[in-house]
Structure 1
Amino acid sequence: MLTLNIIGPGRLGKSIARLAQPHYQIAGVCASSLASSRDAVAFIGAGQACATLADLPSADLFLLAVPDAMIAEKAIELAESGVVQAGNVVFHASGASEASLLLPLKAVGASIASMHPAFSFADPARAISTFAGTLCALEGDIEACDTLHDFVLALGGKPFTLAKGGKAAYHASLTMAANFLVTLADLSIKTAQQAGISDEIAQSLVMNLMQQTLENIKALGPAAALTGPILRADQLTIEKHLAVLNNKVSHRCYQSLGLATINLARDKLSATQQFALSQIFS
């Protein structure tokens, strides 16, 4: 059984360790304080609580689950600790940063990678019961990615590999899909309230439609799921929308998304219609 050290057992770190625990031996757990390390060990149900990186036992895999801004610093400290040996796999779980942050560990003989689960670890207790099937992005050294492919499968996840240099595009995609969807919901609800609709009804109206649309996208794909005035080249309706959006942020968002939607609907619009619509949104 391969061994695993956890550095930074926050919500993600201790959740991953708990999921790995039946298949990997949890060797050491190192947090910012010994008390925090002990609390994490209690949640994980295995491992040796460590006060410093130098106290970590030897292990096959090392997960740096520290905040993104601390990864490079901790990589240097870990390399200098003498704990990591040639042949070990060291990986971090940042969504935006690449494995290259761990280069100091490559210099001591480790293979390096990043593994990012497309999952929210807001509640570790809930995370361990709902993680199954989660897509996990891998990038870095081939040897490390091969090891982490099996690691992700053991967690119950679904591994896939990013193209070299693809981490920023991957994370931008997730940000648009998750964060911007929340922003779009907020702008839609506020626009509905502008029509005199109550907060409760506005939220229900927008949420129900967004849910139906997501189901259509999943079943049909984005292009086939598209409906609305742009697909119909309904210039009059679009002009009415733009006229009533007196909030500058909502107005600009409608314009930008409208231009993107013309491109999505291009196969169903004539060149003349595309030009006319783009003039309205510009």
Structure 2
Amino acid sequence: MLSKHTASGRLKFTASYGEAASFADLHFLGVGAPERTGDNAYDLSALFAAVRRLTPHIHRPAVVVDKSTVPVGTVPRVADILRAATLAGRQVEVAWNPEFLRESFAIEDTLYPDRLVLGFADEGTHGEAVLRQCFGTIIEAGTPTITTSLATAELVKGAANAFLATKISFINTIAEACEASGANVHQLAEAQSRHPHRPEGPAARARLRRRLPAQGPPRLHGPRRRTRHRPGPRHSPRGRRDQQPPPGTHGRPRPRTARRHLQGQAHRRLGSGLQPRHRRHSRLTRPRRHRKPPPARRRGHRL
């Protein structure tokens, strides 16, 4: 591929920033941003050095597109360097196009990407038209194209890397469970990847939300054993007399549910005329049933 395109003149290599600036109006910056030594931050020195070396040679309107993985807030710093040192000034526009390349598939993922993210400062700018013309063949092939803001485009690559690390950690945990149970983790991962967890389109996602019930976090272990509750001061054989009444309940025990507690408060505040909607009375609103007194004994009469 290199021999074919260099021979035709479509591909050319140079180490001169002046030659690149005089030839092209669209500049891609694919500079590495490794981790800073002794710190967890990005090392952006190579990126800023490339921008400073390119800026003095730009004399006409141009679009500078960065493809590096950078933290949010890098675009304003790059734009300040460009507009402060270049002769074109405000006519130089900065755009962001994060790349998603797999190992050993760089050329394939560049020519046939699974998604195309383009970040601009405003909608309908000159840079958007230039990039759409540059990626015209890829867009016409039906590649999903997402046009967003600069901050979102910066954060997309970091979020994608974090999500990939989460999936790797998850499958490592599943691999330990497979090793303990004798299951095949490769077949499990293949079966898991076949299920469409997120359907396309907002209407399909709305149908999915209506279809799926609310569930808690999944449990990978078996059912927990139920243990007997040890009798404490609240559940003592003598009943609730050992427990001190909580404040604000007027000596009555605390209700078991919030619903009964609210019904009891409403009954005390609004009066005894308030009745619950259902026929069954709560513990605090149930009318007290008095036991009938025993019949009086008569003299000479056996009960």
Normalised TM-score (structure 1): 0.55
Does the 8 Å CA contact 1:117/1:134 hold for their aligned counterparts? Answer: no
- Structure 1 spans left out of the alignment, 5+ residues: 1-17, 19-37, 244-270, 273-282
State the Cα distance separating 1:47 from its structure 2 match: 3.2
Per the alignment, in what secondary structure is the counterpart of residue 50 of structure 1?
A: coil
Give 1:212 shift.
3.0
1:65 to 24, 30, 35: 30
Letter in 1 for 2:133: D
Is residue 155 of structure 2 the alignment partner of residue 165 of structure 1? Answer: no
Taking a change above 3 Å as real, the CA distance of residues 64 and 242 of structure 1, as seen in their structure-2 partners, is: farther
Which residue number corresponds to residue 145 of structure 1? 128
Between the aligned partners of 1:192 and 1:114, the Cα distance in structure 2 is: 42
**2:198 matches 1:217:** yes
**Aligned to 2:165, which of 176, 179, 203?**
179
Amino acid at match of 1:166: T
- The gaps in structure 2 that reach 5 residues or longer are 34-43, 226-257, 260-303
Read off the aligned partner of 2:199 and give its amino acid letter.
K
Q: Which residue of 2 aligns with 1:54?
A: 18
Which amino acid is the alignment partner of residue 126 of structure 1? E
Quote how far apart the aligned CAs of 1:119 are. Answer: 4.5
Instruction: Say if 2:65 and 2:96, in contact at 8 Å, map to a contact too.
Output: yes
Which of the residues 70, 75, 85 maps onto 2:59? Answer: 85
CA RMSD of aligned residues (A): 4.1
Partner of 1:9: none
Residue aligning to 2:115: 134
Structure 2 counterpart of 1:60, one-letter code: D
Match of 1:252 in 2: none
Greater helix content: 1
Q: Distance in 2 between matches of 1:43 and 1:177?
A: 41
Distance in 2 between the 1:184 and 1:60 partners?
A: 44
Q: CA contact under 8 A between 2:64 and 2:93: conserved in structure 1?
A: yes
Please give the alpha-carbon distance, in whole angstroms, between the structure 1 residues aligned to 2:54 and 2:168: 38
Deviation of 1:134 (Å)? 2.6
Contact 1:138–1:162 (Cα < 8 Å) also in 2: yes
CA distance in 1 between partners of 2:95 and 2:221 (Å): 50
Deviation at 1:205, TM superposition (A): 1.8
Once residues 62 and 234 of structure 1 are traced to their aligned partners in structure 2, the CA distance between those partners, rounded to angstroms, is 47
- Residues 239, 112 of structure 1: CA spacing in aligned structure 2 closer, same or farther, 3 A cutoff? same
Over the matched positions of the two proteins, sequence identity in percent amounts to: 11
User: For residue 50 of structure 2, what is the aligned residue in structure 1?
Assistant: 74
What CA distance in whole angstroms lies between the structure 1 residues aligned with 2:137 and 2:185?
Answer: 43
- Residues 111 and 125 from structure 1, CA distance in 2 versus in 1: closer, same or farther, beyond 3 angstroms? closer
- Structure 1 CA distance, aligned partners of 2:24 and 2:224? 60
Q: Deviations over 1:157-206 (max 9, x none)?
A: 44322235334542343224333222212221122212233xxx222123
Structure having the larger proportion of residues in strand: 1
Q: Secondary structure at the match of 1:106?
A: helix
Report deviation, 1:128: 5.2
Whether the 8 Å contact between 1:76 and 1:105 is mirrored in structure 2 is yes
Letter in 1 for 2:25: D
SS of match in other structure, 2:97: strand
Q: Which has the higher contact order (CA 8 A, sep 6+)?
A: 1
1: CA distance, partners of 2:211 / 2:176: 21
Residues 213-252 of structure 1: pairs in structure 2 closer than 5 A? 213=195, 215-218=196-199, 221=205, 224=208, 231=214, 240=222
Q: State the aligned residue count.
A: 199
**SS of the residue 2:54 aligns to:** helix
Highest CA radius of gyration, 1 or 2?
2
